Chains A and B, each alone.
Chain A
Amino acid sequence: MRSTLPTVSLTGSLLWSSPAWAADPAAASAESPLNMTAIIMFFAFVAVTLGITYWAASRTKTTKDFYAAGGGITGFQNGLAIAGDYMSAASFLGISAMVFAKGYDGLIYSIGFLVGWPVILFLMAEQLRNLGRYTFADIVSFRLSRVPIRTLSALGTLFTVILYLIAQMVGAGQLIRTLFGLPYEYAVIIVGTLMILYVAFGGMLATTWVQIIKAVLLLTGATFIALGALHHAHYDFEAFFRSAMEGVKASGLADHKKVVADNKDIFAPGGLVSDPISAISLGMALMFGTAGLPHILMRFFTVANAKEARKSVFYATGFIGYFYILTFIIGFGAVVLVAPNPHYVDAIKGTLMGGNNMAAIHMAHATGGDLFLGFISAVAFATILAVVSGLTLAGASAVSHDIYANAIRGGNVDERVEMRISKFSALALGIIAIYLGIQFEKQNVAFMVGLAFAIAASANFPILILSIYWKNLTTRGALIGGSLGLITTVTMVVLSKTVWVDVLGYKEALFPYKDPAIFSMTLAFVGCWLFSKMDNSAQARAERALFDPQNVRCETGIGAVGASGH
Chain B
Amino acid sequence: MNADPVDKRLIERIQKHPKYRELVTKRSRFAWILSGIMLLIYYAFILLVAFTPKSLGTKISPDSVISVGIPLGVFIIVIAFILTGIYVFRANGEFDELTRQIKEETK
Contact = CB atoms under 8 A, between A and B. Distances in A.
Interface of A: 104, 107-108, 110-112, 114-115, 117-119, 121-123, 126, 138, 141-146, 237-238, 241-242, 245, 265, 267-271, 273-276, 278-280, 282-283, 287, 306-307, 310-311, 313-314, 317-318, 321, 324-325, 328, 411, 542-543, 546, 548-553, 555-559
Interface string B83-103: 111011001100010010011
B14 to A, nearest CB: 5
B34 A267 contact: no
What 7 A-B pairs are tightest by C-beta distance, nearest first? Answer: A268-B57, A279-B50, A269-B53, A267-B67, A559-B6, A122-B31, A321-B77
Contacts of A237: 66
A273 B49 contact: yes
Given A118-B35, A276-B51, A310-B91, A142 B80 contact: no
B66 A115 contact: no
B92 A307 contact: yes
Contact of B53 (A111, A122, A271, A556): A271
Nearest to B92: A307
30 contacts: A111-B45, A111-B73, A112-B42, A115-B41, A115-B42, A118-B84, A118-B87, A121-B84, A122-B31, A122-B35, A138-B2, A141-B1, A146-B1, A241-B65, A267-B57, A267-B67, A268-B54, A269-B53, A276-B47, A310-B87, A313-B84, A314-B81, A317-B80, A317-B81, A325-B74, A325-B77, A552-B14, A553-B6, A556-B14, A557-B99
A279 B52 CA distance: 12
A548 B15 contact: yes
Contacts of B39: 119
Contacts of A108: 49, 73
Given A268-B57, A283-B43, A549 B88 contact: no
B38 to A, nearest CB: 5
A558 B14 contact: yes
Contacts of A144: 1
Q: Which of A111, A138, A141, A307 has the most CB of B within 10 A?
A: A111
Contacts of A274: 50
Q: Quick one: which of A144, A267, A306 has the most chain B CB within 10 A?
A: A267
A138 B27 CA distance: 23
B21 to A, nearest CB: 10
Nearest to A124: B31
Given A118-B34, A269-B56, A107 B81 contact: no
Given A145-B1, A552-B15, A558-B103, A269 B49 contact: yes
Nearest to B53: A269
A280 B69 contact: no
A142 B2 contact: yes
Contacts of A324: 77
Contacts of A112: 42, 46
Given A238-B65, A559-B4, 10 more contacts: A118-B35, A268-B54, A269-B53, A269-B56, A279-B47, A280-B46, A317-B80, A328-B73, A556-B102, A558-B14
Q: Do most interface residues of chain B lie in helix, strand or loop, or is the interface mixed?
A: helix
A275 B50 contact: yes
Contacts of A111: 42, 45, 73, 76-77
B35 A123 contact: yes
A145 B3 CA distance: 11
Given A146-B1, A553-B6, A121 B88 contact: yes
Contacts of B20: 552, 555-556
B30 to A, nearest CB: 8
A117 B39 CA distance: 11
Contacts of B85: 314
A546 B11 CA distance: 11
Given A552-B11, A559-B4, A117 B80 contact: yes
Nearest to B31: A122
A318 B80 CA distance: 9
Contacts of A138: 2
A417 to B, nearest CB: 20
A242 B31 CA distance: 41
A245 B64 CA distance: 11
Contacts of B80: 114-115, 117-118, 317, 321
A558 B8 CA distance: 12
B5 interface: yes
A555 to B, nearest CB: 6
Contacts of B102: 556
A411 B3 CA distance: 12
B1 A245 contact: no
A552 B10 CA distance: 10
B50 A267 contact: no
Nearest to B34: A122
A318 B77 CA distance: 9
B22 to A, nearest CB: 11
Given A238-B66, A276-B47, A118 B38 contact: yes
B78 A115 contact: no
Nearest to B8: A549
A18 to B, nearest CB: 16
Contact of A241 (B47, B66, B76, B87): B66
A131 B87 CA distance: 20
A424 to B, nearest CB: 26
A314 B67 contact: no
Contact of A265 (B1, B57, B92): B57
Nearest to B27: A555
Contacts of A271: 53
Contacts of B67: 104, 265, 267-268
B15 A267 contact: no
B40 to A, nearest CB: 11
Contact of A110 (B32, B50, B77): B77
